[in-house]
Structure 1
Amino acid sequence: MSNFVDFVGPVLDPLPYLAKADIGVNCSHQEGFSNALLEYMASGLGIVATDVGGNGEAVRHQIDGIIVSSRKPPEMTLAIMALFEKSFRERLGNSARQRAINTFASRNCMVSYAKMYRELIEV
């Protein structure tokens, strides 16, 4: 496994590691809205994430990544194996990157919040 997977532990700057990666896996049993998942998306990785917290809001199943049950390890295994297919992984990764830029970039979030607040004030 060490020929294919690097376990590096906590790091201050994940970007150099993400640049070398092909797949990002979020296997949480509990999650809010995962910053790591957004980093995977922005890096254009093929993503496997569990169906907890905001993961399904960030990653659209079979569009930006693969969402699996948090309590079924065989699903996680099959999803990771599916991402071994380069064209599939790249299609999901490209979609995830565009979604990260268009939906979750800080500038776009600020514009959305400003619009929402204006609408609330007008009510």
Structure 2
Amino acid sequence: MMMLNEKNDCIESIAKTLERTSAWRKSLTVRWPDDPRNARASSRLDQLAADVASLTDYQWAALQPHFNWASENWRDGLNQAARQVGFHNRSGDLDYFIEALVQNLSVSTSIAA
């Protein structure tokens, strides 16, 4: 049961960050109306926030060693991955986002170590 709660906490953490980043991207469309990337990124982030509810056990296994909702490393890695959606990360699916997130978290963990 504890494992399921932790997975659900991870899903909620990712979804909230994706939603917050989407709102930020939407605000940037006002500042830069001629740049279509922010609107596309916001739409993509909204879709990822919905998709993360069906996080697979395989995806969870990749995230689990890194997940700690209270960890600055987790928040920084997640924020970085979310900001990259639509810009550095062109692929839009959840698998790709999870891979990018794990990569960000792995790099920051090795730097912090």
Classify the TM-score, shorter chain.
under 0.3
Greater RCO, 1 or 2 (C-alpha within 8 Å, sep 6+):
2
Higher helix share: 2
Query: Structure 1 length normalisation: TM-score?
Result: 0.26
Query: Structure 2 length normalisation: TM-score?
Result: 0.28
Higher strand share: 1
